[in-house]
Structure 1
Amino acid sequence: MTRRDVIVGVGAGAVGVGAATFAPDLLRGGSSSQPGAVKTVTSLPADDPTPGWFHTSPKREPQPPLIGDAQAPWVVIGAGFTGLAAARQLALNFPDDQIILVEAQQVGFGASGRNAGFLIDLPHDIGAPDYIGNPETANQILELNHTGQTILRELVEQHQITDAQLRHSGKYQGAVEDSGIAVLDAYRGGLEKLGQRYEMIEGKDLPEHLGTSFYRKALYTPGTILVQPAGLVKGLANSLPENVTLYENTPITGVEYGAKTILHHASGRITADKLVLANNAFGTHFGFLERAILPIFTYGSLTRPLTPAEQASIGGKKFWGLIPADPFGTTLRRTHDNRILVRNSFSYNGDGRARPGYTDKVVKAHRESFERRFPALKDVEFEYTWGGGLGMTRNGQGFFGELRPNVYGSLGCNGLGTVRGTATGVLLADWLAGKNHSLTEFLLTAPKPVSNPPDPFLTVGVDFTLWRGQSKAGLEA
């Protein structure tokens, strides 16, 4: 199964799978982004109210929303990992300029605070036989991921963001089905090709690592950093340079493109000399890359803290993270506050918004996955269940660079927004300041996201592919 198949499935052949070129109209978003036209932003972020990471991290007083009009040389939309990184670096590169950072919700409440908290270093191309693919490209991705890790680690140290709970723990990739074992063996070969360290751990030895005998084998790689994602982004927002003004709970409802960009919000307008879009799948509602970035939601549950007796009953390390061999399988974390995170189940939410009541449907799947892995903890209840969006593209490529004159973006992180978003946010801000790094040319010349079929074919194709993948995951789910 390739990455393309995972995202689009039956609709893939209609528009040329894997094309490295893209139509200019895909980038521009058609007539809605032409100068002088007012484009209505048709979908605004609206996530469910129970993100566990957000509520278990220390409370933070959000910055007030913008009332009335504002203007600035630089405006960044989206205060997740990408937007925070871009705004910070623009402020450092242009210390005499004011940077406005606009967030539709509270910082940490959206996708940046809803992921599993893995800062992964290694490339993992599920479309390649060895999960590495072209070594030159893989090494570039490895450098990009290391760049994101380094930036975040240094910011945590510099600003003493203890709420990030940053740990150099590595990650386990666990398998229980024969197909999963084959994935681990293939990935091991790819890692050897790249010269990367790993340890293959047999099932009999895994309980002392994970506190569960469920898995038959795991591949451990030491380079991943684990964090409390909401705590991290809250800390990043609290430590922005003085020439960054952050407005939270300020959704943008319309946009006019021209020599300057005018952004409409509930009580006024923001005029930007230059605009940076760092809002992932919601960038499509600003008139760019329409039907190219797909909002795929995945779901997590977080238990209450385990009692000392419950901790003793399972044993294992006190802090770890595991990703599944099957892309539709279950991700697990044991957290700094002795909770267990379970993340699985997917849905395609075309407007990028949470589906009311959907968490009630997925919690049963989470319960089954949790009790299969930790039968001794069957009486431990979940305290939070939530969903969060990923900006996925059919060919696994993101966008980096100029969208139209004076409008720029880093969009489509494909589930790696923590490290990739951080790195590309900084690199984009440096590129706009005339600073080119070794990775800048790689990002600018990389293939762009390809378009997908229109609805109803798109929704039918994605829904079918997600259903098929989850159905075939077996015990990996």
Structure 2
Amino acid sequence: MAVSRRNVLIGAGVTAGVVAAGGSAALLSDGTPKDPASLLRIGSLPADDASPGWFHTSRVRQPKAPLIGDEQAPWVVVGAGFTGLAAARQLALNFPNDKVILVEAQQVGFGTSGRNAGFLIDVPHDIGAPDYIGDQANARNVLALNQRGQGILRDLVEQHNIVDAQLRHSGKYQAAVEDKGIAVLNAYRGGLEKLGQPCHLIEGSELRDHLGTSFYRKALYTPNTILVQPSALVKGLADSLPENVKLYEDTPITAVDYGVKTVLHHATGRITADKLILANNAFGSYFGFLQGRMLPIFTYGSLTRPLTAAEQASIGGKDFWGVIPADPFGTTLRRTHDNRILVRNSFSFNPDGRAKQNYPEKVRPAHRLSFERRFPELANVPFEHTWGGGLAMTRNGAGFFGELRENVYGALGCNGLGTVRGTATGTLLANLLAGKRENLTDYLLAAPKPSWNPPQPMLSIGVNFTLRTGQAKAGIEA
């Protein structure tokens, strides 16, 4: 995602959102009286808009049935995005005789993991550092973590023949129009060279030959980024889980009771877990952890219909590529495997982690303007889908990895790198629970934790102001 945690200066986080059940006669799903003091009601449930383009243009799959009644297992994972799928898979491999329950509030591929721009990025990118790399020891760990996530996904796509994920080693172009953006590219090239990472600058007619647009002046090309159809990828990952993983979709957790065992309540029953793993990013706050430390930022994308052969010929360029902006509030752009153009820009702060009503329609004109600036030849090509998707940001850019309380663990706060970072941290957490510890595990456990945020209403005022001014200053890069 283009937005950076350095650009949300006022804060990150979502308020606690966990409300203790009230009254003296709270009942469980089976009608049994329950001490309300120990039961946490989940204050917000995932609710994304209905028009995610990646989901609707990917393979139609039969979702797994919701859970009806009660279940129990040694391991329960909440959230079937990249992190949860990785954690559940690795737990099942580490403990082949144990049942692993994976529970998802919506359908797999419909939520956040299927709404990003589909970049599996390897290189670190710290815009707070002069060379966009900063501390080299930390940068090398970030690089190793990203590459670990890339490698896991690449191997799974090959192993399970997830061809509709359209995984391609296409690299990425970080592109700029204005002088300030070009300065970013020059600085970043120097930082990458310090790390020994391949990159080179492309400009002028050569860049036009790559992208099919004369809009950009210069781009920094890094060859080791992988591009995917994200919703198709997570659908394929879900359908290739080990046999000892039991996946329940459309099963939102409505309350939780922590004890020696954790009891998760849903619409028709309970799930009892010996050990619980939270892989639900910003919604982890509603389970009683990292309250006031997470920042649900939504970004928005539009996807055209497939270009005709004549339209493709009119722009030329390569038939598959991805562009990220030099300005963090600029436009991300992709040409897809089925010859669509993706435009992604505009941001909103959604403190409850849920989609804002009518926001896709609100941002569509901005997408239209950005698209026609870059491809005036395609001015008559309509968008078929416009949607939003959430990021779990934190003010200091730190995620959480490890134990949240006894028998409860989490990998939360991916800061816009959920594809690779979520896959890596979910896998590493499952390995840690199996007693398998490695250098990256130690790095994550020792890393800073998400910082505190200002209280409301200061939080919303500050974040919204920062988002508005950042987008305004992006100018023609948007």
Query: In structure 2, how many angstroms separate the alpha carbons of the residues matched to 1:258 and 1:39?
Result: 12
Q: CA deviation at 1:177?
A: 1.1
Query: In structure 2, how many angstroms separate the alpha carbons of the residues matched to 1:160 and 1:11?
Result: 42
| Contact 1:171 1:322 survives alignment (8 Å) | yes
| Contact 1:3 1:127 survives alignment (8 Å) | no
Task: Tell me which residue corresponds to 1:50.
Answer: 51
Normalised by the length of structure 1, the TM-score is: 0.95
Q: CA deviation at 1:437?
A: 1.4
Query: In structure 1, how many angstroms separate the alpha carbons of the residues matched to 2:124 and 2:144?
Result: 10
Please tell me the residue identity of whatever aligns with 2:60: K
Task: Tell me which residue corresponds to 1:96.
Answer: 97
| Contact 2:401 2:412 survives alignment (8 Å) | yes
Task: Tell me which residue corresponds to 2:28.
Answer: none
Please tell me the residue identity of whatever aligns with 2:186: D
Is 1:370 paired with 2:361? no
Task: Tell me which residue corresponds to 1:400.
Answer: 401
Q: List structure 1 runs of 4+ shifted beyond 2 angstroms.
A: 2-5, 9-12, 29-32
* Counterpart mapping for 1:247-326 below 5 A: 247-326=248-327
Is 1:112 paired with 2:110? no
User: Over residues 16-59 of structure 1, what are the superposed CA-to-partner deviations in whole Å (9 max), with x where a residue is unaligned?
Assistant: xxxxxxxxxx99x9999x99611110100000000000000010
Task: Tell me which residue corresponds to 1:330.
Answer: 331
Q: CA deviation at 1:451?
A: 1.1
Task: Tell me which residue corresponds to 2:83.
Answer: 82
Query: In structure 1, how many angstroms separate the alpha carbons of the residues matched to 2:10 and 2:248?
Result: 41
* Counterpart mapping for 1:451-466 below 5 A: 451-466=452-467
SS at the partner of 1:269?
strand
SS at the partner of 1:152?
helix
Q: 1:57 to 1:195 in 2, by over 3 A?
A: same
Query: In structure 1, how many angstroms separate the alpha carbons of the residues matched to 2:200 and 2:315?
Result: 22
* Counterpart mapping for 1:154-173 below 5 A: 154-173=155-174
SS at the partner of 1:179?
helix
Task: Tell me which residue corresponds to 1:20.
Answer: none
Q: CA deviation at 1:124?
A: 0.2
Q: CA deviation at 1:115?
A: 0.2
* Counterpart mapping for 1:390-429 below 5 A: 390-429=391-430
Please tell me the residue identity of whatever aligns with 1:467: R
Query: In structure 2, how many angstroms separate the alpha carbons of the residues matched to 1:213 and 1:183?
Result: 20
Is 1:137 paired with 2:138? yes
Please tell me the residue identity of whatever aligns with 2:265: H
SS at the partner of 1:131?
coil
| Contact 1:203 1:218 survives alignment (8 Å) | no
Please tell me the residue identity of whatever aligns with 1:465: T
Q: CA deviation at 1:193?
A: 0.7
Query: In structure 1, how many angstroms separate the alpha carbons of the residues matched to 2:306 and 2:371?
Result: 15
Task: Tell me which residue corresponds to 1:198.
Answer: 199
Please tell me the residue identity of whatever aligns with 2:66: P
* Counterpart mapping for 1:221-236 below 5 A: 221-236=222-237
User: Over residues 411-451 of structure 1, what are the superposed CA-to-partner deviations in whole Å (9 max), with x where a residue is unaligned?
Assistant: 00000000000000000000000000110000000000001
User: Over residues 265-311 of structure 1, what are the superposed CA-to-partner deviations in whole Å (9 max), with x where a residue is unaligned?
Assistant: 00001000000000000101101001211110000000000000000
Q: 1:105 to 1:234 in 2, by over 3 A?
A: same
Please tell me the residue identity of whatever aligns with 2:369: E
Query: In structure 1, how many angstroms separate the alpha carbons of the residues matched to 2:204 and 2:343?
Result: 20
Please tell me the residue identity of whatever aligns with 2:334: R
Is 1:66 paired with 2:67? yes
Q: CA RMSD in A?
A: 1.9
Q: CA deviation at 1:10?
A: 4.0
SS at the partner of 2:319?
coil
SS at the partner of 1:75?
strand
Unaligned runs of 5+ in 1: 16-25
Task: Tell me which residue corresponds to 1:348.
Answer: 349
Query: In structure 1, how many angstroms separate the alpha carbons of the residues matched to 2:278 and 2:163?
Result: 29
Query: In structure 2, how many angstroms separate the alpha carbons of the residues matched to 1:226 and 1:430?
Result: 27
Query: In structure 1, how many angstroms separate the alpha carbons of the residues matched to 2:20 and 2:243?
Result: 38
User: Over residues 94-137 of structure 1, what are the superposed CA-to-partner deviations in whole Å (9 max), with x where a residue is unaligned?
Assistant: 01100000000000000000000000000000111100000000
Task: Tell me which residue corresponds to 2:24.
Answer: none
Query: In structure 2, how many angstroms separate the alpha carbons of the residues matched to 1:376 and 1:403?
Result: 53
Normalised by the length of structure 2, the TM-score is: 0.94
Query: In structure 2, how many angstroms separate the alpha carbons of the residues matched to 1:296 and 1:354?
Result: 10
Unaligned runs of 5+ in 2: 22-34
Q: CA deviation at 1:204?
A: 2.7
Q: CA deviation at 1:203?
A: 2.6
